[in-house]
Amino acid sequence: MTFKTLSKIHVCDDDANIAKLFESWIKVVTRYCDFHQNDNCWWYNERASLSTLAGAAWAMKGAIALEEFSTEKRAKAFEAGVEGGELRNGRCDLYIGCSSPDGSRSYAFEAKQCRQPTGERASPVLYLHRAMDAAWEDSGHLTKYEGDTRYAATFAVPTLRLDDVCPDDADSGVCAEKVRERIDHWIERTENFRSPRNKDTSYAYVFPDLGDVKFSNGNRLFPGVVLILEKRMKAARRSEA
């Protein structure tokens, strides 16, 4: 049986490097699923998912990545749009640098991961927004020197009840059309992954082998993964006057 893959990329600020990174990330996730017939890279945790984003950077021409490196962080997030607090030792989840004929750009990421139920009786953004808020807070602790651009990154894994996506004949397996309908409806309910701060986000998602039962565990299906990026703008310095 041949399964189709569902994927999409949306970059809200026309950053060509982020668009290329998303494209590479989708290829990395799909490659992992092709390599392991009974496994996927979103089963696990934030750290495992972050490695796919770092791998996506290394797969790009002229790009580099560094994970979990020691750095200085602020003791607390920005208050009233102004940097404050003493610096402390910490770690940055991921640094990516991209070179191009127009010059190099660097990006720093703080990441979280969540599993989000998609049923009609479940809030479509309960755990999604919790993870986005946590990533946003962590990204605010990075100093402005970590990258030209800082991002709060959220890996979201939607979950579907098998009862909702299986035909009446259980021997027929998972219905790809029903899975697609559920995913599309959930994305619509999230308002295209709009942030808890009511801002547009950049995002990419990939659902390989749509409808394949190998992505099920227990009574639920975990059809794929979404990567959401919310840009953290640099704050103004305090006046010394």
pLDDT digits (tens, 9 = 90+) for 21-41: 999 999 999 999 999 988 999
Structural domain boundaries enclosing 158: 6-232
**Domain membership flag for residue 240:** no
- The pair phi, psi for residue 107, each rounded to 5°, is -135, 135
Please check the confidence at residue 54 and state whether its pLDDT lies above 80: yes
Residue 88 has what pLDDT?
47
CB-based contacts of 110, cutoff 8 Å, min separation 6: 92, 93, 135, 138, 139, 141, 142, 150, 151, 152, 153
Q: CA–CA separation, 25 vs 96, rounded Å?
A: 13
Tell me the whole-structure pTM to 2 decimals. Answer: 0.88
**Domain membership flag for residue 239:** no
Q: What mean pLDDT is reported for the chain?
A: 87
Which has the closest alpha carbon to 156: 215, 190, 113, 210?
A: 113
**Domain membership flag for residue 222:** yes
What tokens were used for 115? 């599993």
How many domains would you assign to the chain? 1
Residue 2 has what pLDDT?
58
**Domain membership flag for residue 194:** yes
Convert 38-66 to b/e letters by CB count within 10 Å (16 or more is b): eebbbeeebeebbbbbbbbbebbeebebe
The fraction of the chain above a pLDDT of 90, given in percent, is: 69
Strands (E), 129-224: 149-161, 202-207, 216-217, 220-221
**Domain membership flag for residue 237:** no
